[in-house]
Structure 1
């Protein structure tokens, strides 16, 4: 495959949305056997909170990475298909990039693969450079919800990484045209996709980045969502098809993916520019394939290149205890009883500072301060107690005292005098180690998009003794010619109510929406997507003017200025809202690190018309 020759199209295969989570071996080998130009996979995210970045841990166990990387190395050996990986190991720090490179080297030696050229790209950023940029006023928050960066934030970070753009990948390929695998550090999710396309003469960066943004999650854009996806990229558009025969893409399902975990769907900012999706179109090519065209990439001015920095720190140690309350007499006075326990713990704990958070799942444990309905007395409540202190021993002490009080503290009208607290595990107090939190999530201006990210080339010897035949399961090869495959998806389950039926002449949003979801848009923002199955319903909701900035502020009990985005997006027949997170993802007091269970108030939003 010569980069000097402009191809008519590129076939790019993504076996899943995150390296280390496994894929269908049957689909994997059948797809490669049909023929692909590259395998490209994203390896990381901030979705799991700050712990990985603060503590330097991979997002999946090493043996799971070894299984996936070993299969990728085998594909390189057998089919000479290049592999590009971004954000290796989870947070993309250099040590995890090196771990992935070592795994590949071990696979080559152990299995007798041919010699492979493996390139590693590093995204670790010097604190001294960040300090200098801060001093020069070249560091700004990444969004309205992010505070200004301080010297203390930089010093406390255990490490800082930057999201690289396509440029380091492009440089690595241009300097090493015979490469087999590229293992990249922290990367903007579409970067390796866009780089591979540009390397092969596909110069429309709107097409390249839009394709990468869809593909980095595998076939999450399909209905039902699945893992393996294939993109066929041309010079003016691209097609996307899920490779699981039970899934299909539709124009709405693909357009809707640009809403996913983003502040806004119309402009997606990344290193060196922004992806403008306002004029993008989505065409159903066959039963399972969608064609996308019209996306534009708007580069930053010359010399104004920016990258996003990510950093996390350790802030104390934590111990948790878990259990449940069932007594209705106790539950009727839960808040005052918990307050009395907190007072007792404070009385018995001295000599050090601590924090004690009692998560009450079943009351407002999931949504915390965002919960609009706090009036219902539940049947039972799950308690997750969280103690934080300067040392693990001190955190254990606080948790032990609190758990004892939960078991034996009296309350008014008590009949069950043996104990109050049902706990499933023993010992009940569970030391959790260091408590992590994000402290750097900022934009660094005026950077060198290549020089900031060192590149290293590894020529791994292999004796080329491996001669196994390609995987043959005897099934039709998905993706061959992009032919339709029958969709076996079952009908969606019927909706049901956890509250009263809506009044006559009205309906709940859940009655007519096809999707109502919430998700982190980075660690500092929470975003909501509401989508509809047909244009008539979408227009009806839009004209009712119920889904508004004011409604979101009221439903989630936040200030108007904390509603960062509120807009309708016609391509996906969707409404999008984004708010400032009440606490930073994964930090102390967190109730929903992923942010995916904050949508419930929207389900019961009353609309002024009935169901069809």
Structure 2
């Protein structure tokens, strides 16, 4: 695999493994004989729960359906299959989850291939080593992280670049399932391996990462293709009824970036200020002018800590007497609820968290109903249940001076009014959004190979 190629074709099966990508576009794309089939399987968009709990966001059956299509066609056609950020968060349990699915597919379909597993979690000792050597640096807006924070860290995951994918392929893997990785590295790895690790490879990878989200109109969610060369890249959707335009490609180049002209990746910066986009065919866009500059090799870290157990209650308020004094009514609800919680449960305000989110504008005279979400986090599931019950029950009956006697101030769309998130409401927060300086792009990785 060490030879150089003049052109490399990259197929992104979809923007997210488990999103049930369109088969028509996928099979049309396969007719172009791509050099690699890739798919991102993760995101931090869904927040800190998934890395904290090590749980996948996507449905297992849907993820298996997509992965089975990719592996079956990849093995049959001799095309490597790369999956990055396994199981949403790319934490060790998320990788285990997707590797188990891959092994299941191989057994059921009687497929034989070499599977590479790349885990990218760091231990507390590893992270402390980087801290002691002064190699941990916060990204813009990141909270301070100290030795004291290390004790409360639930999980720390490194976000790898293209090099670990390349190593796995050079070691003979036909399917690679990796932990947390940059979205672009999944698609830039094979062009880089074939000597085309230029600005066009990374620019195309940036567009491919979300599949057909970069098309003019996403009629069918699914596959995108890119052809990488020394002097350009060309991009088009797999489905013959869909098109890409310069605007749709530029739009995705801007997507999720603080600076649309400088896009950092491990060891490099992609510079798009001089990039040009032209309609090469009715469905295809050609990119020229993108540059790549070297940068110190750093690896991003994503870390989370456990906060407690969440409970919420959703309520609607439509009484005009309440709406005209809505702010003071909410303040009274919170005050009275906290008094009841102190008296009945022995909890002080600093021992739990309480907030409310308001949907609608009670000050608008045309408003007929306002929605409220009461949100609490407590130290145990039992305390969480008790606190939220006090809160929603107080909101139901807290008195106002404009009315005498019994009153019901809020309506609840669910019974019981108390709701919880997954894992009994276990709640995490991000505490690490940093980079570490590394001597070797592989040093945060653990490789395991399986002959299936």
Q: TM-score range by the shorter chain?
A: over 0.9
- Partner in structure 2 of residue 21 of structure 1: 19
Equivalent positions of 1:516-595 (< 5 A) are none
The corresponding residue for 1:422 is 411
Task: Choose which of 250, 256, 259 in structure 1 pairs with 2:254.
Answer: 259
Partner Cα distance (1:95, 1:231) in 2: 32
TM-score, with normalisation over the residues of structure 1? 0.69
1:52: how far off?
Answer: 0.2
Q: Is the contact made by 2:84 and 2:183 (CA closer than 8 Å) also made in structure 1?
A: yes
- What is the match of residue 597 of structure 1? none
Alpha-carbon distance, 1:4 to partner = 4.3
Of residues 167, 170, 191, the one that matches 1:171 is 167
What is the aligned counterpart of 1:395 among 384, 389, 395?
384
- 2:243 aligned with 1:223, yes or no? no
**Counterparts of 2:35 and 2:236, CA distance in 1:** 16
- Within the candidate set 314, 324, 332, 2:324 is matched to 332
Q: How does 1:311-330 map to 2 (within 5 A)?
A: 311-330=303-322
1:561-599 deviation line (CA, Å, top 9, x unaligned): xxxxxxxxxxxxxxxxxxxxxxxxxxxxxxxxxxxxxxx
Structure 1 residue 151 and structure 2 residue 142: aligned?
no
Structure 1 equivalent of residue 280 of structure 2: 285
Q: 1:257-290 CA deviation, whole Å, 9 max, x = no partner?
A: 1221111111111211211111111111122211
1:28-48 Cα deviation digits (max 9, x unpaired): 223224422211111111000
Distance 1:59 1:35 in 2: 31
Instruction: Specify the alignment match of 2:30 in structure 1.
Output: 32
| Cα shift readout 1:107-154 (whole Å, capped 9, x = no counterpart) | 1111222x11111111111221211221222211111x1122122332
Asked if the contact 2:42/2:87 (under 8 Å) is kept, the reply is yes
Deviation at 1:197, TM superposition (A): 0.4
Task: Name 2:180's counterpart in structure 1.
Answer: 186
The runs of at least 4 consecutive aligned structure 1 residues that moved more than 6 Å come to: 374-377
Question: Is the contact made by 1:140 and 1:148 (CA closer than 8 Å) also made in structure 2?
Answer: no
Secondary structure of 1:219's aligned partner: helix
Give the secondary-structure state (helix, strand or coil) at the position aligned to 2:57: coil
Is contact 2:84-2:181 (8 Å) kept?
yes
Distance 2:223 2:406 in 1: 56
Instruction: Decide whether aligned partners of structure 1 residues 396 and 240 sit closer, same or farther in structure 2, where only a CA change above 3 A counts.
Output: same
Counterpart-to-counterpart distance in 2, 1:274 and 1:336:
52
| Conserved 8 A contact 2:299-2:436 | yes
More helix, by proportion: 2
Which blocks of at least 5 consecutive residues in structure 1 are unaligned? Answer: 365-373, 461-612
Mapping of 1:8-87 within 5 angstroms?
8-87=6-85
Whether 1:199 and 2:193 are equivalent positions in the alignment is yes
State the secondary structure of the residue aligned to 2:5: coil
Match of 1:276 in 2: 271
Structure 1 residues 447, 330: closer, same or farther in 2, change over 3 A? farther
Following superposition, the deviation at residue 231 of structure 1 comes to 1.0
1:383 corresponds, among 372, 375, 384, to 372
Residue matched to 1:413: 402
1:131 is aligned, of 123, 128, 131, to 128
Q: For the Cα contact (< 8 Å) 1:392–1:431, is it kept in 2?
A: no
How many residues are aligned here?
Answer: 441
Give the aligned CA root-mean-square deviation in angstroms: 1.9
